[in-house]
Amino acid sequence: MRVVMFGYQTWGHRTLTALLDSEHDVVMVVTHPKSEHAYEKIWSDSVAELAEENGVPVVIRNRPDDEELLQRLKEADPDIIVANNWRTWIPPRIYTLPRHGTLNIHDSLLPKYAGFSPLIWALINGETEVGVTAHMMDDVLDAGDIVDQRAVPVGPTDTTTDLFHKTVELIAPVTIGALARIAAGETEFTPQSRAQATFFHKRAEEDIRINWDWPAEVLERLVRAQSAPYPAAFTFHKGKRLEILAAVVSEGRYGGTPGRIFYREGDGVAIVAGADARTGRNHGLAITRVRTEDGRELPATEYLTSMGGYLTDRP
């Protein structure tokens, strides 16, 4: 089939690689301009460079809503558009233009975790598996019929970086598997259950601020979810920002006020956690490694040398 690819960053790069290695003919690539946004600088393999290296015409757009792009797409005469990590709305006159419509590749097990940053949100929420879904695009974001979907397990110590590497390996088989079904003439795929759908927003500064009212188990996953190269989860100590680079759920149970610097446990320092911490039934978050406001990384036991005082969500 003649394919136009819409994509960006490493997700788009892997998709284009799979298409170039396949029996299909990539006739044009549409991608976003390079960005300095913190999250968009992560996993930033260039779709434009890969296309140019392979002699594929490239169009750079923030939004695909102009007449020139529409005309170029008509001239390219695609059988299908394949999109992965396209960051803005694709209008119906674009996604319905090819004979077979548009296939979108999304890094979650739809209908759960539609929208943005699905791996981070899934890890924070304690999901046992994550994956990649290929679905037909319609007028609701990430809601079209599922053509192919594959999953990988979430390990007990996995970070978002680990899950990225696991799921990015699924892009090629999911994409090519879905295209094989479409090329074979299949048109009936699996509708998504809207009753099971969840939709998540982009990550922002507020989303990595530690709330000590959360249970220690959730905070431990938040720290793993915000592992390098993502911006680290943070709190404040004596008015200064403190990033939490590594932590585990404490062995002991600690009662009192959330955020209290309580007890040195093993290689970490246990912090009281959970909105109901006053009951004494909760485990704490044992912080093991931190980064200070001036960029120093050190063991938590070297930074928090005396017990008492509080970690807070504001200066």
For residues 275 and 216, what is the distance between their CA atoms, to the nearest angstrom? Answer: 10
Percent of the residues in the chain that have a pLDDT greater than 90, as a whole number: 97
Percent of the residues in the chain that have a pLDDT greater than 70, as a whole number: 100
**Mean pLDDT value across the chain:** 97
pLDDT at 34: 87
Mean of pLDDT values over 180-201: 97
Mean of pLDDT values over 147-162: 98
Confidence band for 42, pLDDT divided at 50, 70 and 90: confident
Confidence band for 37, pLDDT divided at 50, 70 and 90: confident
Mean of pLDDT values over 10-37: 95
pLDDT at 36: 75
DSSP state of 260: B
In the block, which residue shows the tokens 């990033």?
243
Mind giving me the DSSP string for 144-198? Answer: SPEEEEEEEEPPTT--HHHHHHHHHTTHHHHHHHHHHHHHTT----BPPPGGG--
What is the helix (H) or strand (E) element at residue 94, kind and residue range? helix 92-95
For residues 292 and 241, what is the distance between their CA atoms, to the nearest angstrom? Answer: 7
Per DSSP, the three-state class of 206 is helix
Name the burial class of residue 310, with classes exposed (0-12), middle (13-18) and buried (19+) by CB atoms within 10 angstroms of its CB: middle
Name the burial class of residue 156, with classes exposed (0-12), middle (13-18) and buried (19+) by CB atoms within 10 angstroms of its CB: exposed
pLDDT digits (tens, 9 = 90+) for 214-232: 999 999 999 999 999 999 9
Gyration radius of the chain over CA positions:
23
Given a cut of 90, whether residue 38 has pLDDT beyond it is no
Q: Please write down the long-range contacts of 93-99, taking CB distance under 8 Å and 24 or more positions apart.
A: 94/64, 94/65, 94/69, 94/70, 95/137, 97/70, 97/73, 98/4
CB distance 218 to 233 below 8 Å: no
Residues ≥6 apart with Cβ < 8 Å to 302: none
For residues 107 and 277, what is the distance between their CA atoms, to the nearest angstrom? Answer: 36
> How far out from the chain centre does Cα 194 lie?
21
Mean of pLDDT values over 114-118: 96
Given a cut of 80, whether residue 95 has pLDDT beyond it is yes
pLDDT at 40: 73
Given a cut of 80, whether residue 128 has pLDDT beyond it is yes
> How far out from the chain centre does Cα 254 lie?
33
